[in-house]
Structure 1
Amino acid sequence: MTYSISRTLDTCGLNCPEPVMMLHKVVRDMAAGDIVEVIATDPSTSRDIPKFCNFLDHDLLTQEERDNRFYYHIRKKQLDGL
């Protein structure tokens, strides 16, 4: 899968609910179809970020853990009709 990341959100060192709250603010300011990479150290993000995407209908493109960090690529939902 090839795509370009529009923004990176580093939430390392922050605990629930801060990473999701920061993600919500960043996504709100993005254009439809833009992709944000989230980097986190809080293990609860592996539950919270997929729920966030599902609830708000954003696409969770990737979710992986490397070197004690969690990485997520999220595409902001497209507008209806696009």
Structure 2
Amino acid sequence: MTDIVNVTLDARGLFCPEPVMMLHNQIRDMQIGEVVEVLATDPSTKRDFLKFCNFLDQELLSSDEQDGVLRFLIRKASEAG
């Protein structure tokens, strides 16, 4: 992935709804085209972040898991939300 990460959110150890609330607040403060990396350990973030991106018209660039840590790259694609 060649995308530049503009900010990293560390949501490890937090549970729904905290990670998605943190993401929502961060996306609001970003410029269109910027990328946020989110690190999380709550398995529900897989579903929550996909729904978040679909509902608020943001772009989920990638998601993967390594050693129990989920990593998401999300690009702000619109001012929705």
Gaps spanning 5+ residues in structure 1: where? none
Residue of structure 2 equivalent to 1:59: 59
Percent identity over paired residues = 57
Report the RMSD for the aligned CA atoms in angstroms: 1.1
Number of corresponding residues? 79
Using the size of structure 1 for normalisation, the TM-score is 0.92
Q: Distance in 2 between matches of 1:68 and 1:34?
A: 26
Q: Distance in 2 between matches of 1:60 and 1:24?
A: 13
Using the size of structure 2 for normalisation, the TM-score is 0.93
Per-residue deviation, 1:78:
4.5
Off by >4 Å, runs of 4+ in structure 1: none
Gaps spanning 5+ residues in structure 2: where? none
Is the radius of gyration larger for structure 1 or structure 2?
1
Q: Distance in 1 between matches of 2:55 and 2:42?
A: 20
